[in-house]
Amino acid sequence: MFKFVTFVRSVPRSQFELLKTTTSTNATQKYSFSKTANCLSVNTAIKSSSELPKKCDVLIIGGGGFGSSSAYWLKKKAGNDLNVVVIEKDCTYTKASTPLSVGGLRQQFSFPENIQMSLYGAEFFEIVKDHLGDCELNFKPNGYLILASDSGATNLLSNAKTQKELGAQNVVLTPEKLKEIFPWINTEGVALGCYGLEKEGWFDPWALLMGFKNTAREHGANYVDGEVVEFGFEAKPEGQQMKKAVVKLTNGEKQSIDFEKCVIAAGACSGDVGKLAGLGNGEGLLSFALPVEPRKRFVYVFDCQGENAPGLKTPLTIDPNGTYFRRDGEGGNYLCGRSPECTCEPSVDDLEVDFSFFEEEIWPTLAHRVKAFESIKIRSSWAGFYEYNTFDENGIIGRHPYYQNLYIATGFSGHGIQQTPAVGRAISELILDGRFTTIDLTRLGFDRIVNNKPMPEVHIF
Ligand SMILES: Cc1cc2nc3c(=O)[nH]c(=O)nc-3n(C[C@H](O)[C@H](O)[C@H](O)COP(=O)(O)OP(=O)(O)OC[C@H]3O[C@@H](n4cnc5c(N)ncnc54)[C@H](O)[C@@H]3O)c2cc1C
Protein backbone atom coordinates (compact mmCIF):
# COMPACT_ATOMS: atom_id res chain seq x y z
CA MET A 1 0.00 0.00 0.00
CA PHE A 2 1.07 3.58 -0.63
CA LYS A 3 1.97 5.69 2.33
CA PHE A 4 1.16 9.39 1.93
CA VAL A 5 2.19 11.96 4.51
CA THR A 6 1.52 15.65 4.15
CA PHE A 7 4.56 17.10 5.84
CA VAL A 8 4.65 20.86 5.35
CA ARG A 9 2.33 23.07 3.35
CA SER A 10 4.55 25.99 2.50
CA VAL A 11 3.70 29.30 0.84
CA PRO A 12 5.10 29.70 -2.70
CA ARG A 13 8.68 30.99 -3.17
CA SER A 14 8.39 33.06 -3.62
CA GLN A 15 5.31 51.14 -32.47
CA PHE A 16 6.29 55.58 -35.89
CA GLU A 17 8.63 53.51 -37.92
CA LEU A 18 12.23 53.27 -36.85
CA LEU A 19 14.99 53.20 -39.42
CA LYS A 20 18.20 51.33 -38.92
CA THR A 21 20.97 53.79 -39.82
CA THR A 22 24.02 51.71 -39.15
CA THR A 23 24.67 48.12 -38.41
CA SER A 24 27.17 46.50 -36.20
CA THR A 25 27.89 42.91 -35.32
CA ASN A 26 27.90 42.61 -31.59
CA ALA A 27 27.69 46.16 -30.47
CA THR A 28 24.50 48.08 -29.91
CA GLN A 29 22.82 48.76 -33.24
CA LYS A 30 21.88 52.40 -33.86
CA TYR A 31 18.34 53.37 -34.79
CA SER A 32 16.72 56.73 -35.55
CA PHE A 33 13.11 57.74 -35.98
CA SER A 34 11.75 58.30 -39.47
CA LYS A 35 11.25 61.90 -40.59
CA THR A 36 7.52 61.63 -40.08
CA ALA A 37 8.05 60.39 -36.59
CA ASN A 38 7.33 62.39 -33.53
CA CYS A 39 10.89 62.25 -32.23
CA LEU A 40 11.23 61.90 -28.50
CA SER A 41 14.19 63.07 -26.53
CA VAL A 42 16.82 60.58 -25.51
CA ASN A 43 17.85 59.73 -22.02
CA THR A 44 14.46 60.54 -20.58
CA ALA A 45 14.59 57.59 -18.21
CA ILE A 46 13.77 58.72 -14.72
CA LYS A 47 15.23 57.10 -11.65
CA SER A 48 12.19 56.69 -9.47
CA SER A 49 10.06 53.76 -10.38
CA SER A 50 6.96 55.43 -8.93
CA GLU A 51 7.06 58.38 -11.36
CA LEU A 52 5.33 57.97 -14.68
CA PRO A 53 6.86 59.78 -17.68
CA LYS A 54 4.40 61.69 -19.91
CA LYS A 55 5.38 59.78 -23.01
CA CYS A 56 7.58 57.02 -24.34
CA ASP A 57 8.45 55.26 -27.55
CA VAL A 58 7.58 51.76 -26.40
CA LEU A 59 5.30 50.95 -23.50
CA ILE A 60 5.55 47.40 -22.24
CA ILE A 61 2.69 46.19 -20.05
CA GLY A 62 4.04 43.58 -17.64
CA GLY A 63 7.59 43.28 -16.35
CA GLY A 64 7.70 39.49 -16.12
CA GLY A 65 9.78 37.19 -18.29
CA PHE A 66 8.44 38.32 -21.69
CA GLY A 67 8.15 42.02 -20.83
CA SER A 68 11.63 42.19 -19.32
CA SER A 69 13.25 40.21 -22.13
CA SER A 70 11.57 42.54 -24.67
CA ALA A 71 12.85 45.58 -22.72
CA TYR A 72 16.34 44.08 -22.60
CA TRP A 73 16.51 43.39 -26.34
CA LEU A 74 14.99 46.74 -27.34
CA LYS A 75 17.41 48.72 -25.19
CA LYS A 76 20.41 46.54 -26.05
CA LYS A 77 19.83 47.11 -29.77
CA ALA A 78 18.50 50.69 -29.88
CA GLY A 79 20.25 52.14 -26.85
CA ASN A 80 19.39 55.74 -26.04
CA ASP A 81 17.58 56.17 -29.35
CA LEU A 82 14.60 54.39 -27.89
CA ASN A 83 12.69 55.29 -24.77
CA VAL A 84 11.24 52.14 -23.21
CA VAL A 85 8.88 52.17 -20.22
CA VAL A 86 7.78 48.96 -18.51
CA ILE A 87 4.69 49.08 -16.28
CA GLU A 88 4.57 46.34 -13.66
CA LYS A 89 1.70 46.13 -11.18
CA ASP A 90 3.47 43.93 -8.66
CA CYS A 91 7.19 44.50 -8.25
CA THR A 92 7.32 41.55 -5.83
CA TYR A 93 6.02 39.23 -8.57
CA THR A 94 3.98 37.30 -5.99
CA LYS A 95 1.50 35.93 -8.50
CA ALA A 96 3.52 36.26 -11.70
CA SER A 97 4.04 33.06 -13.67
CA THR A 98 7.78 33.50 -14.21
CA PRO A 99 9.07 32.97 -10.65
CA LEU A 100 6.46 30.27 -9.98
CA SER A 101 7.50 28.17 -12.94
CA VAL A 102 9.66 25.06 -12.62
CA GLY A 103 12.21 26.46 -15.09
CA GLY A 104 12.36 23.60 -17.57
CA LEU A 105 14.23 23.91 -20.88
CA ARG A 106 13.59 21.32 -23.57
CA GLN A 107 13.55 20.94 -27.34
CA GLN A 108 11.05 18.11 -27.18
CA PHE A 109 8.17 19.94 -28.87
CA SER A 110 6.08 19.08 -31.93
CA PHE A 111 5.79 22.60 -33.38
CA PRO A 112 9.00 23.62 -35.25
CA GLU A 113 8.92 27.22 -34.01
CA ASN A 114 8.84 25.99 -30.42
CA ILE A 115 11.86 23.76 -31.07
CA GLN A 116 13.72 26.68 -32.69
CA MET A 117 12.87 29.09 -29.86
CA SER A 118 14.01 26.63 -27.23
CA LEU A 119 17.22 25.86 -29.11
CA TYR A 120 17.87 29.60 -29.04
CA GLY A 121 17.02 29.63 -25.33
CA ALA A 122 19.77 27.04 -24.77
CA GLU A 123 22.24 29.06 -26.86
CA PHE A 124 21.38 32.19 -24.85
CA PHE A 125 21.78 30.39 -21.54
CA GLU A 126 25.20 29.09 -22.54
CA ILE A 127 26.50 32.66 -22.84
CA VAL A 128 24.06 34.21 -20.41
CA LYS A 129 26.76 36.27 -18.69
CA ASP A 130 27.63 37.95 -22.04
CA HIS A 131 24.01 39.05 -22.20
CA LEU A 132 22.97 39.54 -18.61
CA GLY A 133 26.20 40.08 -16.69
CA ASP A 134 26.40 38.49 -13.29
CA CYS A 135 23.40 36.19 -13.80
CA GLU A 136 23.69 32.73 -12.26
CA LEU A 137 21.04 30.48 -13.82
CA ASN A 138 22.22 27.36 -12.03
CA PHE A 139 21.35 25.31 -15.12
CA LYS A 140 21.09 21.55 -14.51
CA PRO A 141 21.68 19.81 -17.88
CA ASN A 142 19.88 16.59 -16.93
CA GLY A 143 17.70 16.36 -20.02
CA TYR A 144 14.02 15.50 -20.44
CA LEU A 145 12.66 11.99 -20.73
CA ILE A 146 9.21 11.92 -22.35
CA LEU A 147 7.46 8.56 -22.14
CA ALA A 148 4.78 7.45 -24.58
CA SER A 149 2.21 4.67 -24.44
CA ASP A 150 1.24 2.69 -27.56
CA SER A 151 -1.19 5.41 -28.58
CA GLY A 152 1.44 8.15 -28.29
CA ALA A 153 4.39 6.28 -29.80
CA THR A 154 3.90 7.35 -33.44
CA ASN A 155 3.69 11.00 -32.43
CA LEU A 156 6.75 10.71 -30.22
CA LEU A 157 8.78 9.19 -33.07
CA SER A 158 7.75 11.80 -35.60
CA ASN A 159 8.35 14.65 -33.13
CA ALA A 160 11.80 13.27 -32.25
CA LYS A 161 12.61 13.27 -35.99
CA THR A 162 11.49 16.91 -36.40
CA GLN A 163 13.53 17.92 -33.37
CA LYS A 164 16.65 16.24 -34.80
CA GLU A 165 16.14 17.83 -38.21
CA LEU A 166 16.12 21.23 -36.51
CA GLY A 167 19.35 20.51 -34.61
CA ALA A 168 18.21 19.05 -31.28
CA GLN A 169 19.95 15.90 -30.04
CA ASN A 170 17.78 13.09 -28.71
CA VAL A 171 17.52 9.34 -28.68
CA VAL A 172 14.37 7.22 -28.79
CA LEU A 173 14.55 4.30 -26.35
CA THR A 174 12.69 1.00 -26.17
CA PRO A 175 11.42 -0.18 -22.75
CA GLU A 176 14.46 -2.49 -22.48
CA LYS A 177 16.88 0.36 -23.15
CA LEU A 178 14.97 2.62 -20.76
CA LYS A 179 15.35 0.05 -17.99
CA GLU A 180 19.06 -0.34 -18.75
CA ILE A 181 19.77 3.41 -18.53
CA PHE A 182 17.25 4.25 -15.80
CA PRO A 183 17.04 1.16 -13.53
CA TRP A 184 14.52 2.88 -11.24
CA ILE A 185 11.84 3.07 -13.92
CA ASN A 186 8.85 0.75 -14.27
CA THR A 187 8.24 0.51 -18.01
CA GLU A 188 4.75 -0.98 -17.75
CA GLY A 189 2.47 0.89 -20.15
CA VAL A 190 5.44 2.52 -21.88
CA ALA A 191 6.03 1.83 -25.58
CA LEU A 192 8.85 4.32 -26.15
CA GLY A 193 10.75 7.10 -24.43
CA CYS A 194 12.52 10.10 -25.95
CA TYR A 195 15.59 11.27 -24.04
CA GLY A 196 17.19 14.67 -24.75
CA LEU A 197 20.95 14.32 -24.98
CA GLU A 198 21.92 17.98 -24.71
CA LYS A 199 20.57 21.50 -24.13
CA GLU A 200 17.77 20.26 -21.91
CA GLY A 201 17.33 20.55 -18.17
CA TRP A 202 16.18 23.21 -15.74
CA PHE A 203 17.31 26.56 -14.38
CA ASP A 204 16.37 29.24 -11.89
CA PRO A 205 13.57 31.32 -13.47
CA TRP A 206 13.87 34.07 -10.85
CA ALA A 207 17.56 34.54 -11.69
CA LEU A 208 16.67 34.83 -15.38
CA LEU A 209 13.93 37.38 -14.67
CA MET A 210 16.21 39.47 -12.49
CA GLY A 211 18.98 39.19 -15.11
CA PHE A 212 16.69 40.54 -17.85
CA LYS A 213 15.20 43.24 -15.62
CA ASN A 214 18.46 44.51 -14.13
CA THR A 215 20.26 44.53 -17.48
CA ALA A 216 17.31 46.23 -19.20
CA ARG A 217 17.43 48.92 -16.48
CA GLU A 218 21.19 49.29 -16.85
CA HIS A 219 20.57 49.91 -20.57
CA GLY A 220 18.04 52.61 -19.57
CA ALA A 221 14.68 50.86 -19.55
CA ASN A 222 12.38 52.62 -17.11
CA TYR A 223 10.34 50.33 -14.85
CA VAL A 224 7.34 51.99 -13.22
CA ASP A 225 5.25 50.43 -10.44
CA GLY A 226 1.61 50.62 -11.45
CA GLU A 227 -1.26 48.92 -13.19
CA VAL A 228 -2.51 49.75 -16.67
CA VAL A 229 -6.28 50.22 -16.18
CA GLU A 230 -7.41 51.97 -19.37
CA PHE A 231 -6.30 52.92 -22.89
CA GLY A 232 -6.80 56.13 -24.89
CA PHE A 233 -7.22 56.11 -28.67
CA GLU A 234 -6.86 58.54 -31.60
CA ALA A 235 -8.47 58.63 -35.02
CA LYS A 236 -6.05 57.88 -37.86
CA PRO A 237 -6.66 57.43 -41.61
CA GLU A 238 -6.22 53.67 -41.13
CA GLY A 239 -8.76 53.65 -38.30
CA GLN A 240 -8.70 54.27 -34.59
CA GLN A 241 -5.25 53.56 -33.12
CA MET A 242 -3.98 53.25 -29.59
CA LYS A 243 -2.35 56.35 -28.15
CA LYS A 244 -2.11 56.32 -24.38
CA ALA A 245 -2.44 54.17 -21.30
CA VAL A 246 -3.90 55.18 -17.97
CA VAL A 247 -1.81 53.81 -15.11
CA LYS A 248 -2.96 53.42 -11.52
CA LEU A 249 0.15 54.13 -9.48
CA THR A 250 0.93 52.59 -6.13
CA ASN A 251 -0.40 55.69 -4.30
CA GLY A 252 -3.78 55.16 -5.98
CA GLU A 253 -3.35 58.14 -8.31
CA LYS A 254 -4.21 57.65 -12.00
CA GLN A 255 -1.92 59.19 -14.60
CA SER A 256 -1.59 58.70 -18.32
CA ILE A 257 1.35 58.04 -20.59
CA ASP A 258 1.41 58.53 -24.38
CA PHE A 259 3.18 55.88 -26.38
CA GLU A 260 4.10 55.21 -29.97
CA LYS A 261 4.07 51.45 -29.63
CA CYS A 262 2.70 49.16 -26.97
CA VAL A 263 3.51 45.55 -26.06
CA ILE A 264 1.06 43.41 -24.11
CA ALA A 265 3.18 41.03 -22.01
CA ALA A 266 0.84 40.80 -19.03
CA GLY A 267 1.03 37.04 -18.57
CA ALA A 268 -2.14 35.40 -17.32
CA CYS A 269 -3.82 38.87 -17.23
CA SER A 270 -3.13 39.52 -20.93
CA GLY A 271 -6.71 38.70 -21.95
CA ASP A 272 -7.95 41.35 -19.48
CA VAL A 273 -5.49 43.93 -20.85
CA GLY A 274 -6.68 43.01 -24.34
CA LYS A 275 -10.24 43.78 -23.21
CA LEU A 276 -9.10 47.24 -22.09
CA ALA A 277 -7.88 47.74 -25.68
CA GLY A 278 -11.31 46.69 -26.93
CA LEU A 279 -10.17 43.31 -28.24
CA GLY A 280 -13.27 41.14 -28.47
CA ASN A 281 -15.53 44.16 -27.99
CA GLY A 282 -15.77 45.65 -31.47
CA GLU A 283 -16.46 44.77 -35.05
CA GLY A 284 -14.33 43.12 -37.71
CA LEU A 285 -10.77 42.57 -36.51
CA LEU A 286 -11.73 43.99 -33.11
CA SER A 287 -14.32 41.29 -32.55
CA PHE A 288 -11.55 38.80 -31.69
CA ALA A 289 -10.56 38.66 -28.03
CA LEU A 290 -7.02 37.94 -26.89
CA PRO A 291 -7.74 34.34 -25.75
CA VAL A 292 -5.47 34.23 -22.71
CA GLU A 293 -6.61 33.55 -19.17
CA PRO A 294 -5.14 32.21 -15.91
CA ARG A 295 -5.13 28.46 -15.27
CA LYS A 296 -3.89 27.29 -11.89
CA ARG A 297 -1.17 24.63 -11.78
CA PHE A 298 0.14 22.93 -8.62
CA VAL A 299 3.74 21.99 -7.93
CA TYR A 300 4.52 19.58 -5.09
CA VAL A 301 7.96 19.00 -3.62
CA PHE A 302 8.55 15.64 -2.00
CA ASP A 303 11.38 13.82 -0.36
CA CYS A 304 12.61 10.35 -1.31
CA GLN A 305 15.77 8.85 0.10
CA GLY A 306 17.50 5.50 -0.33
CA GLU A 307 19.48 3.59 -2.90
CA ASN A 308 16.44 2.81 -5.06
CA ALA A 309 15.54 6.46 -5.45
CA PRO A 310 16.29 7.98 -8.86
CA GLY A 311 19.80 9.43 -8.81
CA LEU A 312 21.19 12.92 -9.20
CA LYS A 313 21.41 12.61 -12.98
CA THR A 314 17.71 11.81 -13.31
CA PRO A 315 16.09 13.70 -16.20
CA LEU A 316 12.83 15.58 -15.94
CA THR A 317 10.60 12.60 -16.60
CA ILE A 318 7.11 12.89 -18.05
CA ASP A 319 4.71 9.98 -17.78
CA PRO A 320 2.38 9.18 -20.72
CA ASN A 321 -0.47 10.72 -18.69
CA GLY A 322 1.42 14.04 -18.31
CA THR A 323 2.60 13.64 -14.73
CA TYR A 324 6.15 14.96 -14.46
CA PHE A 325 8.86 14.86 -11.81
CA ARG A 326 12.47 15.95 -11.49
CA ARG A 327 15.14 16.31 -8.86
CA ASP A 328 15.08 19.53 -6.88
CA GLY A 329 18.57 20.10 -5.53
CA GLU A 330 20.89 17.45 -4.22
CA GLY A 331 19.27 16.59 -0.90
CA GLY A 332 16.78 13.93 -1.98
CA ASN A 333 14.00 16.33 -2.94
CA TYR A 334 11.95 16.05 -6.12
CA LEU A 335 9.24 18.24 -7.54
CA CYS A 336 6.26 17.09 -9.53
CA GLY A 337 2.97 18.18 -11.08
CA ARG A 338 0.48 17.70 -13.87
CA SER A 339 -2.16 19.76 -15.68
CA PRO A 340 -5.69 18.68 -14.71
CA GLU A 341 -8.27 17.53 -17.23
CA CYS A 342 -9.90 20.58 -18.85
CA THR A 343 -13.20 19.67 -17.21
CA CYS A 344 -11.58 19.83 -13.74
CA GLU A 345 -9.78 23.18 -13.85
CA PRO A 346 -9.32 24.55 -10.31
CA SER A 347 -10.59 27.97 -9.30
CA VAL A 348 -8.23 30.85 -10.14
CA ASP A 349 -9.49 33.06 -7.30
CA ASP A 350 -6.38 32.32 -5.26
CA LEU A 351 -3.13 30.38 -5.30
CA GLU A 352 -4.14 27.79 -2.70
CA VAL A 353 -2.76 24.30 -3.29
CA ASP A 354 -5.13 21.34 -3.60
CA PHE A 355 -3.48 18.40 -1.88
CA SER A 356 -6.19 15.97 -2.87
CA PHE A 357 -5.02 16.43 -6.48
CA PHE A 358 -1.64 15.09 -5.42
CA GLU A 359 -3.07 12.24 -3.46
CA GLU A 360 -5.65 11.12 -6.00
CA GLU A 361 -4.05 11.96 -9.34
CA ILE A 362 -0.31 12.47 -9.09
CA TRP A 363 0.95 10.18 -6.39
CA PRO A 364 -0.56 6.95 -7.82
CA THR A 365 1.23 7.66 -11.12
CA LEU A 366 4.52 8.42 -9.38
CA ALA A 367 4.30 5.27 -7.27
CA HIS A 368 3.49 3.17 -10.33
CA ARG A 369 6.39 4.54 -12.36
CA VAL A 370 9.04 4.54 -9.62
CA LYS A 371 8.82 1.96 -6.84
CA ALA A 372 10.79 4.17 -4.45
CA PHE A 373 8.03 6.79 -4.77
CA GLU A 374 5.52 4.51 -3.07
CA SER A 375 6.42 6.06 0.25
CA ILE A 376 7.09 9.77 0.03
CA LYS A 377 6.56 12.90 2.07
CA ILE A 378 5.41 16.24 0.68
CA ARG A 379 7.94 18.82 1.88
CA SER A 380 6.47 21.93 0.31
CA SER A 381 4.26 23.04 -2.53
CA TRP A 382 3.11 26.06 -4.49
CA ALA A 383 0.66 27.03 -7.20
CA GLY A 384 1.15 29.35 -10.16
CA PHE A 385 -0.86 30.54 -13.13
CA TYR A 386 -0.25 29.34 -16.67
CA GLU A 387 -0.93 32.23 -19.12
CA TYR A 388 -3.24 29.84 -20.89
CA ASN A 389 -4.16 30.33 -24.54
CA THR A 390 -7.67 28.87 -24.83
CA PHE A 391 -7.45 28.92 -28.66
CA ASP A 392 -4.60 26.43 -29.17
CA GLU A 393 -2.33 26.42 -26.09
CA ASN A 394 0.53 27.96 -28.05
CA GLY A 395 2.26 31.34 -27.80
CA ILE A 396 0.76 34.44 -29.46
CA ILE A 397 3.47 36.76 -30.73
CA GLY A 398 3.35 39.58 -33.25
CA ARG A 399 1.64 42.79 -34.27
CA HIS A 400 -2.11 43.07 -33.88
CA PRO A 401 -3.82 43.06 -37.31
CA TYR A 402 -5.97 46.13 -36.51
CA TYR A 403 -3.92 48.23 -34.11
CA GLN A 404 -0.71 48.79 -36.08
CA ASN A 405 1.13 49.92 -32.94
CA LEU A 406 0.09 47.05 -30.67
CA TYR A 407 2.33 44.03 -30.20
CA ILE A 408 1.52 40.87 -28.27
CA ALA A 409 3.80 38.40 -26.48
CA THR A 410 1.79 36.00 -24.36
CA GLY A 411 -0.20 32.76 -24.16
CA PHE A 412 2.66 30.27 -24.00
CA SER A 413 0.61 28.04 -21.72
CA GLY A 414 3.31 26.51 -19.58
CA HIS A 415 6.41 26.52 -21.80
CA GLY A 416 7.19 30.23 -21.92
CA ILE A 417 10.06 30.97 -19.57
CA GLN A 418 12.58 29.00 -21.66
CA GLN A 419 11.43 30.96 -24.75
CA THR A 420 11.77 34.44 -23.24
CA PRO A 421 15.20 35.05 -24.89
CA ALA A 422 13.78 34.23 -28.36
CA VAL A 423 10.47 36.05 -27.84
CA GLY A 424 12.03 39.25 -26.47
CA ARG A 425 14.44 39.26 -29.41
CA ALA A 426 11.54 38.68 -31.83
CA ILE A 427 9.54 41.59 -30.36
CA SER A 428 12.62 43.83 -30.76
CA GLU A 429 12.91 42.75 -34.42
CA LEU A 430 9.27 43.53 -35.14
CA ILE A 431 9.49 46.96 -33.49
CA LEU A 432 12.93 47.98 -34.78
CA ASP A 433 13.10 46.21 -38.15
CA GLY A 434 9.43 45.77 -38.94
CA ARG A 435 9.83 41.99 -39.47
CA PHE A 436 11.26 38.84 -37.95
CA THR A 437 14.95 38.70 -38.84
CA THR A 438 16.01 35.55 -36.97
CA ILE A 439 13.35 32.92 -36.27
CA ASP A 440 10.25 33.41 -38.42
CA LEU A 441 7.37 33.36 -35.92
CA THR A 442 4.70 34.57 -38.36
CA ARG A 443 2.58 31.44 -37.83
CA LEU A 444 2.28 32.31 -34.14
CA GLY A 445 0.70 35.72 -34.86
CA PHE A 446 -2.79 36.94 -33.89
CA ASP A 447 -3.88 36.37 -37.53
CA ARG A 448 -4.30 32.66 -36.85
CA ILE A 449 -7.05 33.51 -34.38
CA VAL A 450 -8.79 35.74 -36.94
CA ASN A 451 -8.42 33.05 -39.61
CA ASN A 452 -9.41 30.30 -37.18
CA LYS A 453 -6.24 28.29 -37.87
CA PRO A 454 -5.09 26.75 -34.58
CA MET A 455 -1.38 25.90 -34.37
CA PRO A 456 -1.46 23.35 -31.55
CA GLU A 457 1.58 22.06 -29.75
CA VAL A 458 1.33 18.35 -28.90
CA HIS A 459 3.87 18.39 -26.09
CA ILE A 460 2.01 20.58 -23.58
CA PHE A 461 2.09 19.41 -19.99
C1 LIG B 1 3.68 25.95 -12.24
C2 LIG B 1 4.28 26.45 -13.50
C3 LIG B 1 5.31 25.73 -14.09
C4 LIG B 1 5.89 26.18 -15.26
N5 LIG B 1 6.95 25.50 -15.78
C6 LIG B 1 7.57 25.95 -16.89
C7 LIG B 1 8.71 25.29 -17.40
O8 LIG B 1 9.16 24.30 -16.86
N9 LIG B 1 9.31 25.79 -18.51
C10 LIG B 1 8.82 26.90 -19.16
O11 LIG B 1 9.40 27.29 -20.19
N12 LIG B 1 7.74 27.57 -18.69
C13 LIG B 1 7.10 27.12 -17.57
N14 LIG B 1 6.01 27.77 -17.08
C15 LIG B 1 5.42 28.86 -17.87
C16 LIG B 1 6.18 30.16 -17.66
O17 LIG B 1 6.26 30.42 -16.31
C18 LIG B 1 5.41 31.26 -18.38
O19 LIG B 1 5.16 30.89 -19.74
C20 LIG B 1 6.19 32.57 -18.39
O21 LIG B 1 6.80 32.80 -17.16
C22 LIG B 1 5.22 33.71 -18.70
O23 LIG B 1 5.91 34.94 -18.55
P24 LIG B 1 5.07 36.29 -18.68
O25 LIG B 1 6.04 37.41 -18.70
O26 LIG B 1 4.08 36.18 -19.81
O27 LIG B 1 4.16 36.27 -17.37
P28 LIG B 1 4.44 36.79 -15.90
O29 LIG B 1 5.69 36.29 -15.38
O30 LIG B 1 3.19 36.48 -15.14
O31 LIG B 1 4.57 38.35 -16.06
C32 LIG B 1 3.45 39.15 -16.42
C33 LIG B 1 3.50 40.38 -15.53
O34 LIG B 1 2.49 41.30 -15.97
C35 LIG B 1 2.04 42.00 -14.82
N36 LIG B 1 0.73 42.59 -15.17
C37 LIG B 1 -0.41 41.94 -15.44
N38 LIG B 1 -1.39 42.82 -15.73
C39 LIG B 1 -0.84 44.06 -15.64
C40 LIG B 1 -1.36 45.38 -15.81
N41 LIG B 1 -2.65 45.60 -16.17
N42 LIG B 1 -0.52 46.43 -15.61
C43 LIG B 1 0.79 46.21 -15.25
N44 LIG B 1 1.32 44.98 -15.07
C45 LIG B 1 0.51 43.92 -15.27
C46 LIG B 1 1.97 40.93 -13.75
O47 LIG B 1 2.03 41.49 -12.46
C48 LIG B 1 3.19 40.07 -14.07
O49 LIG B 1 4.31 40.39 -13.28
C50 LIG B 1 5.40 27.36 -15.90
C51 LIG B 1 4.37 28.10 -15.31
C52 LIG B 1 3.81 27.65 -14.11
C53 LIG B 1 2.71 28.44 -13.48
The pLDDT value given to residue 458: 84
The answer as to whether 255 is a domain residue is yes
The answer as to whether 242 is a domain residue is yes
Q: What is the pLDDT of residues 115-126, one digit of tens each?
A: 999 999 999 999
Structural domain range at position 434: 18-98+207-293+391-450
Phi and psi at residue 294, to the nearest 5°: -75, 140
Mutating to test ligand 1, I would choose from 69, 72, 92, 98 the residue with most ligand atoms within 8 A of its C-beta, which is 98
The pLDDT value given to residue 75: 98
Q: Is 385 in the pocket of ligand 1 (CB under 6 A)?
A: yes
Q: Is 338 in the pocket of ligand 1 (CB under 6 A)?
A: no
Q: Is 223 in the pocket of ligand 1 (CB under 6 A)?
A: no
The H-or-E segment that residue 246 falls in is strand 239-249
Mean pLDDT per block of 10 residues along the chain (461 residues) reads: 34 32 33 31 44 97 98 97 97 97 97 98 98 97 98 96 97 98 97 97 98 98 98 90 97 97 98 98 96 98 93 96 96 95 90 96 97 94 97 97 97 95 98 98 98 90 86
Mutating to test ligand 1, I would choose from 13, 66, 101, 248 the residue with most ligand atoms within 8 A of its C-beta, which is 101
The pLDDT value given to residue 238: 79
Q: Is 397 in the pocket of ligand 1 (CB under 6 A)?
A: no
Q: Is 297 in the pocket of ligand 1 (CB under 6 A)?
A: yes
Pick the atom of ligand 1 nearest to 382's CA: 1
Angle, to 10 degrees, between the axis of helix 420-433 and the axis of helix 205-218? 30
Q: Is 393 in the pocket of ligand 1 (CB under 6 A)?
A: no
> Atom 14 (ligand 1): residue with closest C-alpha?
414
> Atom 15 (ligand 1): residue with closest C-alpha?
414
The pLDDT value given to residue 341: 87
Q: What is the pLDDT of residues 143-196, one digit of tens each?
A: 999 999 999 999 999 999 999 999 999 999 999 999 999 999 999 999 999 999
Q: Which residues contact 183 (CB under 8 A, 6 or more apart)?
A: none
Q: How far is the CA of 387 from the centre of ligand 1 (A)?
A: 6
Q: Which residues contact 418 (CB under 8 A, 6 or more apart)?
A: 103, 104, 105, 106, 117, 118, 121
> Atom 8 (ligand 1): residue with closest C-alpha?
104
Q: How far is the CA of 89 from the centre of ligand 1 (A)?
A: 13
The pLDDT value given to residue 236: 87
The answer as to whether 119 is a domain residue is no
- Is the four-CA dihedral 235, 240, 241, 242 of positive or negative sign? positive
Cα 187 → chain centroid: 32
The answer as to whether 235 is a domain residue is yes
The pLDDT value given to residue 122: 98
The pLDDT value given to residue 36: 29
The answer as to whether 154 is a domain residue is no
Least Cα distance to 213 among 78, 88, 102 occurs for 88
The answer as to whether 5 is a domain residue is no
The pLDDT value given to residue 42: 32
What CATH number corresponds to the domain at position 410? 3.50.50.60
What is 383-418 written as a DSSP string?
Answer: EEEEEEETTTSS-EEEE-SS-TTEEEEE--TT--GG
The answer as to whether 433 is a domain residue is yes
Q: Are 8 and 379 in contact (CB under 8 A)?
A: yes
Q: How far is the CA of 218 from the centre of ligand 1 (A)?
A: 22
> How high does pLDDT run on average in the chain?
90
Q: Domain count of the chain?
A: 1
The answer as to whether 254 is a domain residue is yes
